Structure 1
């Protein structure tokens, strides 16, 4: 998927992001992430702060999603944000969603927000993620680094 009109730095980050997804290589995310990154989940009221939390969430969601694919992308007028529409299945429930990424001046991701529909897909995602991430709540709240 090629998105045009992003800044050159953001475009390089987005291309690398797609490569990491294809290879399921979330451990290689660090260079793409701003130090102050914030992740907003569709199932959590409070944002998850920091690189450790976002890497844990994205690594876990890659095991929960089946038949994941990006469908199309939209770029903001300032060339620093992109919305990527996706589809996937979780526990036999189909869902659609969007990843909203905001890039800093160096092209690193500083905000990552996810929205999902319909409710049945969101509920399946919530249940699967909660089950897998329960032992890592301290990491998700920024109170402890991953083990």
Structure 2
């Protein structure tokens, strides 16, 4: 288990579970570390998605779309409840770089999960594939503004 200096103990425990989820390519344990009212911010949608079910749907599908997924660097905010995870992956043969921003609460539950990806060609490939997989289903989770 990797130790992340400065991370709140409950957030550190959940981040370790998150890294295990990614390594196993299985979201079985994701619900246990996700708050029911979690917010997921997609790199391709302006409006965030609300609820644990939306987060699980998005993450479960993107794990199938990404190839050669690897985390490279981790940054922790001063309050110990936010992490930034830099990653690389392939999507439809295109190399992408991205960042996962994860905000935990003091119980270690994911409250917000935001993804940013570059370059545009890789983001477009991801958007097209995710649209085919979950487009209509995930739309029901759009947060009301």
What is the CA–CA distance in structure 1 between the aligned matches of 2:95 and 2:138, rounded to whole Å? Answer: 27
Dislocated runs of 4+, deviation >3 Å = 137-142
Residue 21 of structure 1, CA deviation: 1.2
8 Å Cα contact 2:68/2:90 also seen in 1 = yes
Counterpart for residue 79 of structure 1: 80
8 Å Cα contact 1:39/1:111 also seen in 2 = yes
User: What TM-score does the superposition give when structure 1 sets the normalisation length?
Assistant: 0.91
Residue 73 of structure 1, CA deviation: 0.4
What is the CA–CA distance in structure 1 between the aligned matches of 2:111 and 2:9, rounded to whole Å? Answer: 16
1:63-89 deviation line (CA, Å, top 9, x unaligned):
100000000100001111000000000
* Pairing 1:53-92 to 2, within 5 Å after superposition: 53-92=54-93
- How many residues in Structure 1 have an aligned counterpart in Structure 2? 143
Counterpart for residue 50 of structure 1: 51
Instruction: Tell me the SS of whatever aligns to 2:89.
Output: strand
Counterpart for residue 5 of structure 1: 6
1:89-145 deviation line (CA, Å, top 9, x unaligned):
000110000000001010111000000011111111111111111341454337xxx
User: What TM-score does the superposition give when structure 2 sets the normalisation length?
Assistant: 0.92
- Structure 1, unaligned runs of 5 or more: 143-147
Counterpart for residue 110 of structure 1: 111
What is the CA–CA distance in structure 1 between the aligned matches of 2:138 and 2:106, rounded to whole Å? Answer: 31
- Structure 2, unaligned runs of 5 or more: none
Instruction: Tell me the SS of whatever aligns to 1:26.
Output: coil
Counterpart for residue 41 of structure 2: 40
What is the CA–CA distance in structure 1 between the aligned matches of 2:60 and 2:39, rounded to whole Å? Answer: 16
What is the CA–CA distance in structure 2 between the aligned matches of 1:134 and 1:36, rounded to whole Å? Answer: 20
1:26-59 deviation line (CA, Å, top 9, x unaligned):
1321110112100000001110100111000000
